[in-house]
Each structure stands twice: as structure tokens, then as C-alpha cells.
Amino acid sequence: MTRFLILVMMLSTLWSTAFCATVRQPVVAGQFYPADSAQLRQSIAEYLAKAGSPTIDGQLLALIVPHAGYVYSAPVAAYAYKLLQNSGVDKVLLCGPSHQVAYPGMALYGPGISWKTPLGVVKCDDSLCNRLLAFDKRITVSEQSQAREHSLEVQLPFLQSVLKDLRIVPVGMGTQNASDVELLARALESLKLDDHAIMIASSDWQHYHPAAQGYKMDSLGMACLTQLDGDRLQQYLDDGIVEMCGGGPAVAVLKAAVARGANKVKILKYGDSGDITGDKSSVVGYVAVAIYKSPSPSGKSSDKKTMEGKAKESMRPSEYLSDSDKKKLLEIARQSIESYLKDGTVPAFEVPESLKKPGAAFVTLNE
């Protein structure tokens, strides 16, 4: 009898340990958002109320939402989550970047995992998780990928507030090169999601530029989205023309949404950290984006002049680089290469004040 009781106690302990191990505890509660459940509910309710009643003329397929501390980005994120109220959505594929851990490809913290927040527990959709894992060996399971990561966690309290019977597929991107982005897009497309599922890419935008310059950069990225042009957005990200910490997830989700029939994108809200701090000298951009299927799609060129055209014109090197500036850049590039090939050093250069201002330009050496 004693042995039997000991065995039961051991099995109970093992079961309890295993059960606890399947629950991811919140790691940024009290930092990025309130740890107190009542305060958190009230904060989210206020953000949603202030977002008004954003609308789209079609079926919502995906969102792009910021992930900074709530005091900074929640006023923008609320515009996206307001669209989910009374939507009937019960499955969300969350795709976000890794800020804390380097790992190749994509990593899920699921299946068989529940994610806890001050508002309760959200379970993973094990079926969808397993189908993603079976798609390609570069999609793996990793607890470490989400051990200290905030980009997915901060989305959960909003989702818990606007959706019922929610299940998630949490996907982190350790690397965001074009190959991995294309893989994730194809993997998401392969799931053949039903009308009760949406995809969410978690991303902040440009980091630490003056507000006016940051908006110009973000406008180029937003124009790519409104034109449904994931390839161009990926190129802008690779070239540093556009900055998004979750650019890879955003491009993958856009492409997968287009494959599901998305034909329209709406910028729901734009803002930056300076809206809260009052300091516009160095800001982070936040954008809430809806990607959806509309019975009346917009033409791919319809918004070009209103957003991308203006942004490109304001960033043309011809506007802030004189002929002498261009010659100086060529001189610096040529002499730097020659010096480094000769003795491994790069000389110091005297540059005019015009080249010390924020800006970007390509320098091409033909010979």
C-alpha cells in the first residue's frame, strides 16, 4: 500500500510539473503593459474607445500591429484591434521578430503550450502548429525563442479583450532574409485558413530618426503595403530605405494574405513615440494596418502619388546633394577602397556640412 501511494505521488508530481511546463508565463507584464488585471482591462478599454469605429469594405485577412510599451504604441494598435470586435475570429497566427535571441529560420512555441497573461490563458491551436512544423524543417519548436521576447506577448491582452474562444499560432522569426520570408509566406499560405482565422504581423517601424524624416521612411513602406507589393517592401528593407523590426513577418503576412485573396490595404492609424513624449527629435514609428479582401479592389497605382510619390520626391538625393557633394562622395569611396587595398587603412576625410545631415545615397564606381 505504501509503495502504491508513493507511486501515485510521484506520478502526480510528474504530471503537475509537465502541466506547469506547458504554460508560458508573461515576461513583460508590469513593463510593457499593466500587470494588474483590472488596470489592464481598463487601459485596453480606454484605448479601444478612443480608436473610434475604424471600418474596411471587405473581409479582414491580416493586420500589422506595433508592439512597443502600451503607453507608446497601444493608441495606434487599438485601431487594428477595434476591427476584430464582434468579428467571429477565433484563430490568430501571430508572427513577430526576435529581439532577444538569435536563431535560424522560424520557431514556434507550440503546440501543446498555453500562454498566460494577467487576463487569463490562451491556448495554441495544435493542429495549425503541427501543420506549420510539417511544412519545412526550418520551422522548429523553441521555448528559448520566446523566453524573454515581447513582440507576440504584448498582442495577447488586446486579443483576449476583443475575441472569444481564442487560439493562437505563435511564430517567431530569428532571421528575416528574403529566403526565410518567402518560406514563411508559403507556409502560411499552405494552411488554407478558414474565414474565422486571421494573421497578425507584429512590428514597430523606423527607429530614432527625427519625426519628419521618419515619416518619409515609413511612408515608403506604407506605400508598398497599399500597392500589395511585398517584393518591393522586402527590397526597401534590405537596402535600409525602410526600417521595420518586424519587416520579415510583415512581408510574409502580406504575401500570404494576397494568396488568400487580399486585394486592398488600409492604413488605419499612424503615429510615433513623440506623440506621447513631446520630443520629435528622435522617434519610433507605429502603424496599424488592415489587409483585406474587398469586392471593390483599388488599382495598384491609385495611391502612388499620394504616398510613395511624395515620400520619394522628398528623399531624392538631388534635393539635398549638390554636384560638389556627389563628387566628394565618389572621391571618398574611391580613395577609401584604394587605401584599404594598399595598406588596410581607411583615411580620414574632411566633409562639408551638407554631408553630415541625415540622408541616404548610392555611390557607384564604374572603374
Task: Work out the burial of residue 301: count CB atoms within 10 Å of its CB; fewer than 13 is exposed, 13-18 middle, 19 or more buried.
Answer: exposed
**pLDDT value at residue 14:** 39
Q: Contact 251/40 with Cβ under 8 angstroms?
A: no
Residue recorded with cell 510539417: 134
* Cα-based distances in Å from 214 to 67, 167, 185, 238, 283: 17, 35, 27, 17, 7
pLDDT tens-digit profile of 207-232? 999 999 999 999 999 999 999 999 99
- Looking at residue 156, its pLDDT comes to 99
Alpha-carbon Rg for the chain, nearest whole angstrom, is 23
Under DSSP, the state recorded for 289 is E
143-166 pLDDT, tens digit per residue, is 888 989 999 999 999 999 999 999
The three three-digit cell numbers of residue 132, written as one number: 506549420
The residue-averaged pLDDT of 352-358 equals: 65
Distance CA 231, CA 164 (A): 35
Domain positions in the chain: 23-314, 318-356
pTM above 0.85, yes or no: no
Q: For residue 67, which amino acid is it?
A: H
Quick one: which of 94, 116, 114, 117 has its CA closest to 39?
A: 117
What are the phi and psi torsion angles at 250 (to 5°)? -65, -45
Specify the pairing of strand 264-272 against strand 283-293: antiparallel
- 218, three cell numbers: 515609413
pLDDT digits (tens, 9 = 90+) for 287-346: 999 999 999 876 554 444 455 555 554 444 444 466 677 777 877 877 877 776 667 676
Q: Is residue 259 over pLDDT 50?
A: yes
Task: Write down the architecture of domain 23-314 according to CATH.
Answer: 3-Layer(aba) Sandwich (3.40)
Q: Which of 62, 59, 80 lies closest to 291, judged by CA? A: 62
pLDDT for 53-100, tens place per residue? 999 999 999 999 999 999 999 999 999 999 999 999 999 999 999 999
Strands 106-108 and 120-124: unpaired
- Judged by phi (left if over 0) then psi (alpha if -120 to 50, else beta), residue 46 lies in alpha
For 97-140, the pLDDT digits (tens) are 999 998 899 999 999 999 999 999 999 999 999 999 999 999 99
DSSP secondary structure, 90-107, as one string: -EEEEEEE-SS---SSEE
Torsion from C-alpha of 313, 314, 320, 322, nearest 10 degrees: 10
- Look over the chain and give the mean of its residue pLDDT values, rounded to a whole number: 87
Helix axes 70-82, 37-50, angle to 10 degrees: 60
| Whole-number pLDDT of residue 343 | 72
256 neighbors 188 (Cβ within 8 angstroms)? yes
Q: Report which DSSP code applies to 25.
A: P
CB atoms within 10 A of CB 333: 13
Q: Report the alpha-carbon distance of residue 148 to residue 162 in Å, rounded.
A: 25
Q: d(Cα 296, Cα 258) in Å, to the nearest integer?
A: 15
- Give CA angle at 156 (151, 157), nearest 5°: 120
CA distance 349 to 69: 41
First to last CA, the chain: 89
Confidence label for 4 from pLDDT (cuts 50, 70 and 90) = very low
Q: CB 136: neighbour CB atoms within 10 A? A: 15
- pLDDT (0 to 100) of residue 20: 42
Identify which has the larger pLDDT, 58 or 20: 58
Under DSSP, the state recorded for 144 is G
pLDDT of amino acid 366: 55
Between residues 22 and 264, the one the model is more confident about: 264
CA distance 21 to 1: 30
| pLDDT for res 307 | 55
Backbone torsion region of residue 88, taken as left when φ is above 0, otherwise alpha when ψ lies between -120 and 50, otherwise beta: left
Lowest mean pLDDT among 248-252, 321-325, 351-355, 359-363: 359-363
